[in-house]
Chain A
Amino acid sequence: MSFINYAAREINVKIVFYGPGLCGKTTNLQYIYEKSNPQQKGKLISLATETDRTLFFDFLPLDLGAVRGFKTRFHLYTVPGQVFYDASRKLILKGVDGVVFVADSQEARMDANVESLRNLEENLRENGFELKTIPYVLQFNKRDLPSAMPVDDMYRLLNFKGEPTFEAVATKGIGVFETLKAVAKQVLYELRSR
């Protein structure tokens, strides 16, 4: 849960990038890291295997500036996408404020997308959250690949509750900040009611 520190006038928000293996979660974070001002960002931490597959999580702290006199700091996490790391995924969702689901647009990966989405729903529930109510954004990544499935078909298959959906090419940065902004917006709006 977001942590508002009234003494330091600071608010910390946790956003998790979820999705099947190799869909581009880490790439999203790397692009955000590259394009952010040095004063805004902390270190990008990647707990990865020797072959650069995420082992536990990637972590990027991002200071976005002040809202109503409160410093807003976003903690961006990714989960390991590979199926057998489920125990780790569950841990990372603890205390999450907003979720980005990164879907792989390649037709061959649709089953993996659907499975990962179900897994997200289940793991959120185990942490006391519902996908229906939590701030949530969907991203169709790898739109530049020739084998990318039509957006409409993907939308029908993966859109869960009419959440904002973005087309992206994370390697080139297309759609990355739009996605982040959309989820940040939902999270901050959610805070209004607290």
Chain B
Amino acid sequence: MYEEEFERIKQLLNTLRMDASAKIVFLVDKNGQQIAGAGEVNLVDSTSLASLTAGNVAATDGLARLIGEKEFSILFHEGRKDNIHISIVGQRLILVVIFDERSSLGLVRLRVRKASADLERVLNEMDSKAQEVGAVETASPFAEITDDDIDALFSE
């Protein structure tokens, strides 16, 4: 993922957070890696949140297949104060919205639907761009990694 798309994704998440009156919005991939966030992200342990969300979605996907569904595209967890709305974007990313009584499930659902479509568009553009650019420009930054680099990681 590159600077330009990253900024656009962050912008979309910010807009969604405001439109939905949410506290925090996260975008996570299905493997549990956090991609971007908006709002009071420092209030939660975002790494753990990403991995648990992905685990949650994976388990729910498993349940869906067991009963013959393709997927459950929306998960909603209701708490006493805060609630979590989880939805799948473009079949590979997970959009997490955390909100409290200042918003409502209906509003969040509505705004998420719009934001998902926008996010999906950015993702698709990213894919076609990646294909155009090809492997040339995206040479791995690790192309020349050495034993010393790796030893340094474990030095302490």
The interface of chain A, by Cβ under 8 A from chain B, is 1, 3-8, 11-12, 14, 37, 42-43, 45, 47, 56-57, 59, 61, 64-65, 67-70, 72, 75, 77, 87-88, 90-92, 94-95, 177, 180-181, 184-185, 188-189, 191-194
* Chain B interface size range: 35 or more
Asked whether B145 lies within 8 Å of A188 as measured between CB atoms, the reply is yes
**How many angstroms between the C-alpha atoms of A69 and B143 in the bound complex?**
13
Q: Shortest distance in angstroms between A66's beta carbon and chain B's nearest beta carbon?
A: 9
Interface string of B134-156 (1 = CB under 8 A from A): 00000011111101011011101
Asked whether B153 lies within 8 Å of A5 as measured between CB atoms, the reply is no
A95: chain B residues at CB < 8 Å are 29-32
> Could you say which of B54-62, B70-78, B113-121 contacts chain A?
B54-62
Asked whether B145 lies within 8 Å of A67 as measured between CB atoms, the reply is yes
Name the residue on B nearest A72 (C-beta): B153
**How many angstroms between the C-alpha atoms of A5 and B55 in the bound complex?**
21
Asked whether A14 lies within 8 Å of B31 as measured between CB atoms, the reply is yes
Asked whether B150 lies within 8 Å of A184 as measured between CB atoms, the reply is yes
Asked whether B143 lies within 8 Å of A61 as measured between CB atoms, the reply is no
B61: chain A residues at CB < 8 Å are 91
Asked whether A59 lies within 8 Å of B48 as measured between CB atoms, the reply is yes
Given the contacts A3-B31, A56-B59, A181-B154, A67 and B149 also touching, CB distance less than 8 Å:
yes
Name the residue on A nearest B155 (C-beta): A65
**How many angstroms between the C-alpha atoms of A37 and B153 in the bound complex?**
13
List of 10 A-B pairs having minimum Cβ-Cβ separation, nearest first: A95-B31, A7-B6, A91-B58, A191-B142, A64-B153, A3-B33, A61-B47, A12-B33, A7-B3, A42-B47
B31: chain A residues at CB < 8 Å are 1, 3, 14, 94-95
Q: Is B35 an interface residue (CB 8 A)?
A: yes
Asked whether A43 lies within 8 Å of B141 as measured between CB atoms, the reply is no
Asked whether A42 lies within 8 Å of B45 as measured between CB atoms, the reply is yes
Asked whether B140 lies within 8 Å of A191 as measured between CB atoms, the reply is yes
Which of B1, B62, B150 has the largest number of chain A CB atoms within 10 A?
Answer: B150
